[in-house]
Amino acid sequence: MTPNSKGVEILSIGTELLLGNIVNTNAQWISEQLSQIGLYHFRQSTVGDNNDRIIKVIQEISTRSNLLITTGGLGPTPDDLTTEAIAKSFNESLFERSHLWDEIKQKMSNSNLQKNSSSLRKQCYFPKNAQIINNPRGTAPGMIWEPIKGFTILTFPGVPSEMKAMWEETAFKFITNKFSDGYSFFSNTLKFSGIGESSVAEKINDLLNLKNPTVAPYANLGEVKIRITAKAKSEVEANNLIKPVKEKLKKEFPKFIFGENHDTLPSVLIKELEKRNETIVFAESCTGGLLSSSMTSISGSSKVFKGSIISYSNSVKISLLNIQEDHLKKYGAVSKEVAKSMAINVREKLKSDWSIAISGIAGPNGGCKEKPVGLVYISIAGPNHQITNIKKIFSSTRNRVEIQRLSVNVCLNSLRLILLSNSN
């Protein structure tokens, strides 16, 4: 498909998608597949189970795109309207494919077949010239159909496992042969922590104007990503295009880039601690175990993560972490002094090389003028009596979950920077 062609669109069909009852993972997955074969994907649409609206949107898409990929609406129930609506969009009739009924009967048990035979048979009707896409995991086939010259439609069920199996068995080869120009998209994503998206974008303004590879920043909570995407005929060719951009970014942001692609702060820390043959423990208050959970979500974390004490109440801070009661009265649970004692004591108690302690006010209640919602104290204790104390005040616009997640990011990124400085 050349740059001058009209491109590809994805149409997701189902009222449950519009209501938010189901997350549209199909469109995301198909988008990734299209990128891998270098196809221009310009638009995604979602429409409910309404015949007139489906017809209208399909007719609109046929005027602006070469290829339409639909998901959903191929089942046996009355609200499964996709194939019928597509045929009506081009004033075509549906015809039964008898061999499909034979296949459905083989897939169904006798009891289910007798109960649902009339509705199941609906899945056997297609436009006259449509090519059938076999469904190896379900009863609803899809189709490949060119109703008008220069416009092709591929239909898939909404069930992700069925859609993916059909794509891999039939659709991928068809789309590649008919529409791909031999180029594919290859991406490399660099991940940043401790810096905002706007600050990154300001420093790489010249890179954002590149045509091939393209450079795009985007942000998640507490993290910025820079995606470098090259269009090339091979991965080696793409890497040669991506490499100089990647090297420039690493030179510009040596401390802020923590990983690439599927790396996370926990996975990067686990690798580094394992390399050093060192262990870590936590003492958590305001994060309530979220810091520990972030580590144990990574396979192999047991090699470095020994455990934690979730000391949410002052009584647990006193009984399990040996925090002095007069410290709690004098400074308060949310203080540098208490966080420091938590870090030192949990490291000694659980016999670890490193420890991180955190105490704060996640809100929405509990704050005051001196200690507002969003105030967090973090202390990191390490070998040779090394102590690092960090104070953060997150914006009052942040909710409780965001403050907790951002606090975890600061904990992990702060330790990453300490380890980085120790290795230099």
Query: Do 319 and 418 share a domain, yes or no?
Result: yes
* The token pair that represents 114 in the structure block: 């007798």
Average pLDDT over residues 240-264: 96
Full domain range(s) for residue 170: 8-179
Backbone dihedral angles phi then psi of residue 263, each to the nearest 5 degrees: -65, 145
336-349 vs 314-321: helix axis angle to the nearest 10?
Answer: 40
CATH number of the domain encompassing residue 123 = 3.40.980.10
pLDDT at position 112, please?
60
Residue 289 and residue 338 in one domain: yes
- Domain membership of residue 149 (yes or no) is yes
Q: Is residue 360 part of a domain?
A: yes
Whether residue 171 is contained in a domain is answered as yes
Residue bearing the bigger pLDDT, 1 or 29: 29
Tokens for 225? 């990503």
| 132 found inside a domain | yes
CATH, residue 192: 3.30.70.2860
Is residue 390 within 8 Å of residue 410, measured between CB atoms? yes
What per-residue string of b and e applies to 154-184 under the rule 16 or more CB within 10 Å gives b? bbbbbbeebbbbbbeebbeeebeeebeeebb
* C-alpha–C-alpha distance, residues 31 and 91, integer Å: 30
Q: How much is the pLDDT for 301?
A: 98
Q: Is residue 69 in a domain?
A: yes
Contact call for residues 11 and 81 (beta carbons, < 8 A) = no
Residue of 88, 80, 226 whose CA lies nearest to 140 = 80
CA 334/CA 357 separation, integer angstroms: 11
Residue-wise pLDDT for 367-389, tens only, equals: 999 999 999 999 999 999 999 99
Could you tell me where the beta strands, DSSP code E, fall in 285-374?
A: 305-310, 354-360
Per-residue pLDDT, averaged over 247-258, amounts to 96
Same domain, 240 and 310: no
**What CATH number does residue 274 fall under?**
3.90.950.20
Long-range contacts for 325-329 (Cβ within 8 Å, ≥24 apart)? none
Flag whether 2 is in a domain: no
pLDDT at residue 4 in the model = 45
Is residue 40 very low, low, confident or very high in pLDDT (cuts 50, 70, 90)? confident
Q: Is the pLDDT of residue 3 over 50?
A: no
Final residue before a domain boundary, out of 227, 260, 293: 260
Measure the CA–CA gap between 421 and 180, rounded to whole angstroms.
Answer: 47
Pair 299, 189 in one domain:
no
User: Is residue 152 in some structural domain?
Assistant: yes
Segments in 81-171 forming alpha helices (H): 82-89, 98-107, 110-121, 160-166
Taking alpha carbons only, the member of 165, 158, 155 closest to residue 125 is: 155
DSSP 209: G
Q: What was the pLDDT predicted at 174?
A: 95
Q: Is 223 in the same domain as 324?
A: no
Q: Do 297 and 390 belong to one domain?
A: yes
41-47: strand order across its sheet:
41-47, 8-13, 67-71, 151-156, 142-148, 131-133
Q: Are both 154 and 236 inside the same structural domain?
A: no
Q: Record the tokens describing residue 286, joined without a space.
A: 């305001």
Within this chain, do residues 235 and 365 fall inside the same structural domain, yes or no?
no
Q: What is the arithmetic mean of pLDDT over 239-252?
A: 96
In this structure, the answer to whether residues 189 and 174 fall within a common structural domain is no
Average pLDDT for residues 302-315, to the nearest whole number? 97
Which of 179, 205, 234 terminates a domain? The answer is 179
Query: Do residue 173 and residue 210 come from a single domain?
Result: no
Supply the mean pLDDT for the chain: 93
Domain boundary among 260, 286, 319: 260
Q: Which pLDDT tens digit goes with each residue over 154-210?
A: 999 999 999 999 999 999 999 999 998 888 889 999 999 999 999 999 999 999 999
Share of the chain above pLDDT 90, in %: 86
Residue whose structure tokens are 């015949």: 51
User: Mean pLDDT throughout 271-289?
Assistant: 97
Q: For 380-423, write each residue's pLDDT tens digit.
A: 999 999 999 999 999 989 999 999 999 999 999 999 999 999 87
Residues 144, 131 contacting (CB under 8 angstroms): yes
Please say if the pLDDT value at position 115 is more than 80.
no
Are residues 152 and 19 part of one domain? yes
Going by C-beta distance under 8 Å and a sequence separation of 6 or more, which residues neighbour residue 217?
A: 197, 200, 201, 204, 208, 224, 225, 226, 227
What pLDDT shows up at residue 41? 87
Indicate whether 1 belongs to any domain. Answer: no
- As for how many domains the chain has, the answer is 3
Whether 190 and 313 map to the same domain: the answer is no
**120 — pLDDT class (breaks 50, 70, 90):** confident
